[in-house]
Chain A
Amino acid sequence: MLAISTAFDVVERTSKDNNKTLQRTSNTTRCLNLGSYNYLGFAAADEYCTPRVIESLKKYSASTCSVRVDGGTTKLHNELEELPARFVGKPAAILFGMCYVTNSAIIPCLIGKEIIQHLKHSCPPHLYATSMSPPGVQHVISAIKVILGEDGSNRGAQKLARIRLRFLQVRAQEDGF
């Protein structure tokens, strides 16, 4: 599959053993994308996010090769811990590189300063996992800023308004589904 957007190119595959193994071909099919969790459309190249992500990649590289409590905390990681807390109106936040680990390691993610301090001190993924890739961190920062309108445009509000239209649901109901 190529490029997560409203449409993407699906790579066709063939099999010589009844689909036990599949080999990719050079053919692709353009498909409408209704299968990705790309609710606000930030996954594809974005006029505000992508240049900043590339800039952060050049500055910080793809990885810190270190855990948060050692040499894996950049200015971006600190900024991203401040932004969502402000966004949801909580005193503090803690950042994990994987949603699955966040859920399995800690349930109270954005509760209070003491909880966050406690997690930073004793939560194993914070102490032992390589910190989140800086360009990925920058992408989330930029996306939240767009949603908050801090990018100097109303694109965030437009995205939220568009997703609330529930156009697909309404049309499906009209068509008898």
Chain B
Amino acid sequence: MDMALPVVNATAAVLARVSAAFNGPLARAVVFGVHIDGHLVVEGLLIAVIVFQLSRKSYKPPKKPLTEKEIDELCDEWEPEPLCPPIKEGAKIDAPTLESAAGPHTIVDGKEVVNFASANYLGLIGNEKIIDSCISSLEKYGVGSCGPRGFYGTIDVHLDCESKIAKFLGTPDSILYSYGISTIFSVIPAFCKKGDIIVADEGVHWAVQNGLHLSRSTVVYFKHNDMASLASTLEKLTRGNKRAEKIRRYIVVESIYQNSGQIAPLDEIVRLKEKYRFRVILEESHSFGVLGKSGRGLAEHYGVPIEKIDIITAGMGNALATDGGFCTGSVRVVDHQRLSSSGYVFSASLPPYLASAAVSAVNYLEENPSVLANLRSNIALLHKELSDTPGLEISSHVLSPIVFLKLKKSTGSPTTDLDLLETIADKALKEDSVFVVTSKKSNLDRCKLPIGIRLFVSAGHTELDISRLSSSLKRVSASVLSDYF
């Protein structure tokens, strides 16, 4: 009894202190003029917790486990959610099938057509010298390389191709990629990281968008090909921003925009880059081998020294009529990619015969500069012929080999616009054997530029081909668009 007394006294003292604390002036609350003691608050909370616990459904295990038969029945009845949304009948894409090489004339579904659907700008598809170089390469090396560049996939022809491209463009070094679109979306994340700032044109195509997304950088878009918008964006990002001086900053543009056929004003971009101290990444898939006096691209076209552009990338599936892509720039820029660019490191190298084809194509361009004059005269002729096409207008640059025809007046619905343009393309193919295509878009593409009919002009097209195209488009668009405009 004597031993228990100190414990009882201590407990009583603690309780007295607690109740004093609850009844003290700080523990009292006034709600609607009524004084509420502290212990009432605690009791209220306890009651709330008890009510919550009682209202919860208690877990009751099934009284009797399910039999095998019942499990099977439940499994048979279960219908999973579809893995992808159903495609509307009208939206299905049934691509025409080619039965011969995709040159200026090709065979589509058994019928010879004039081909304006292939970006065969220099008319090198079917070129005998290129085919011969491919055959000798196939006989010597086989088809595939069976390994990435860093793992027994580097063949002497890859190194020859890299040095050929670098020499042609006047850059210190270049690096080959095995797939055109993976070039840009491997290069951007190799240099641009989280925390960096990228200022990009809102009209860039999906591969560039994917590169921007994969980089995890802060991306700011400027209005399509609008230098005032670019200047104000750069000004906003750098003015009074001390942090901006310490982080990497890039401008990402295409030389000829795949989504519009517009040409980027490189001279102005370089001026702004130097003023605001940004680096430039230039995507040249549609200008390499096309623009400039000797086909060396946008830098030659504007007379800008190539060393002022930090990184240049291009796919070789257009003017060079082969496959794969390349990136060119300083030795440091190229060397960095050999260990840091995912598309280079984690992919089998370019098949040797395609690298041989690229070398032969560049040689052909150097030996036959007249092919560029043919291409330019064809583009000019097409612009002239299509200038008065009913319901359609040319929105591309006069020197662009992508001649972009958009509706003069949109219906207000992109789906209806696309349907109209698809109808024009289908009728031109079926009725006049003229193969043209629309600029289809994935639902993952964030580019908001208007869709249109995209014509790829080739140096291999004749005047007759172009007049056949223009007369077909004029006739078909007049009949298709008459109900709308």
A-B contact list, 17 entries, CB within 8 Å: A3-B140, A3-B142, A35-B147, A37-B146, A42-B143, A60-B100, A61-B126, A62-B131, A69-B437, A70-B117, A70-B440, A98-B179, A118-B83, A128-B442, A129-B180, A129-B207, A136-B144
Contact B323 A74 (CB under 8 A): no
Whether A63 contacts B323 by the Cβ 8 Å rule is: yes
Report Cα–Cα, A152/B267, bound state, in Å.
Answer: 62
Give the secondary structure class of B's interface: loop
Contacts of B322 in A (CB 8 A): 62-63, 133
The verdict on A71 contacting B317 (CB below 8 Å), with A115-B84, A128-B181 known, is no
Report the minimal beta-carbon distance from A66 to chain B, rounded to whole angstroms.
4
Given the complex of chains A and B, what is the CA–CA distance between A38 and B141 in angstroms?
13
Q: Give the contact-size bracket for chain B.
A: 35 or more
Residues of B within 8 A of A59 (CB): 100-101
Across the interface, which residues of A come within 8 angstroms of B101, CB to CB? 59-61
Confirm or deny: A108 has a beta carbon within 8 angstroms of a beta carbon on chain B.
yes
Query: Is there contact, CB below 8 Å, between B147 and A37?
Result: yes
Within the assembled complex, what's the spacing in Å between the Cα atoms of A116 and B315? Answer: 26
Report the Cα distance A72→B83, complex, angstroms.
28
Interface flag for B111 (CB, 8 Å): no
A118 near B84 (CB under 8 angstroms)?
yes
CB interface residues, A 72-101, toward B, < 8 Å: 72-75, 78, 97-101
Give the shortest distance, in Å, between B380 (CB) and chain A (any CB).
21
Number of A-B contacts (CB under 8 A): 232
By the criterion CB–CB under 8 Å, are A61 and B115 in contact? no
Central interface residue in B83, B98, B207, B437, by most chain A CB within 10 Å: B98
Q: Within 8 Å of chain A (Cβ to Cβ): is B151?
A: yes
Given A3-B140, A65-B321, A128-B207, the answer on whether A122 and B351 have CB atoms closer than 8 Å is: no
Cα–Cα distance between A120 and B82 once the two chains are bound (Å): 17
Q: Are A1 and B102 in contact (CB under 8 A)?
A: no
Instruction: List A residues at the B interface (Cβ < 8 Å).
Output: 1-5, 11, 24, 33, 35-38, 42-46, 49-50, 53-54, 57-66, 68-75, 78, 97-101, 108, 111-112, 114-115, 117-118, 120-125, 127-130, 132-133, 135-136, 139
Query: How long is the Cα–Cα vector from A72 to B93 in the complex, in angstroms?
Result: 13
- Nearest Cβ in chain B — how far from A63, in angstroms? 5
**In the complex, what distance in Å separates the CA atom of A33 from the CA atom of B142?**
15
- A62 with B323, Cβ < 8 A, contacts A101-B179, A128-B207, A130-B317 known: yes
Say yes or no: A43-B146 contact (C-beta < 8 A), given A57-B134, A60-B101.
Answer: yes
**A130 with B315: CB separation less than 8 A:** yes
B354 at the interface (CB under 8 A from A): yes
Q: A60-B100, A100-B179 are in contact. Are A121 and B348 (CB under 8 A)?
A: no
Q: Report whether A38 and B146 are in contact in the complex, using a CB–CB cutoff of 8 Å.
A: yes
- Quote the shortest CB–CB distance from A71 to chain B (angstroms): 3
Known: A3-B140, A4-B144. A125 touches B181 (CB 8 A): yes
Q: A99's contact among B103, B134, B347, by CB below 8 Å, is which?
A: B347
Determine the distance from Cα of A54 to Cα of B210 in the docked complex, in whole angstroms.
Answer: 35
**B264 on the A face (CB < 8 A):** no
B93 touches A139 (CB 8 A): no
| Known A-B contacts A4-B141, A37-B146, A98-B347; A66 and B119 likewise in contact (beta carbons under 8 Å) | yes
- Give chain B residues whose Cβ lies under 8 Å from the Cβ of A4: 141-142, 144-147, 155
List, in ascending order, chain A residues with CB within 8 A of B274's CB: none
Contact with A along B124-152 (1 / 0, CB 8 A): 01110011001100111111111100011
Check A71 against B118 for contact (C-beta < 8 Å): yes
The verdict on B307 contacting chain A, using a C-beta distance below 8 Å, is no
Q: Is B313 an interface residue (CB 8 A)?
A: no
Most chain A Cβ neighbours within 10 Å, of B140, B147, B315, B437: B147
List chain B residues, Cβ under 8 A from A118: 83-85, 87
List the A side residues contacting B354 at CB < 8 Å. Answer: 62-63, 133
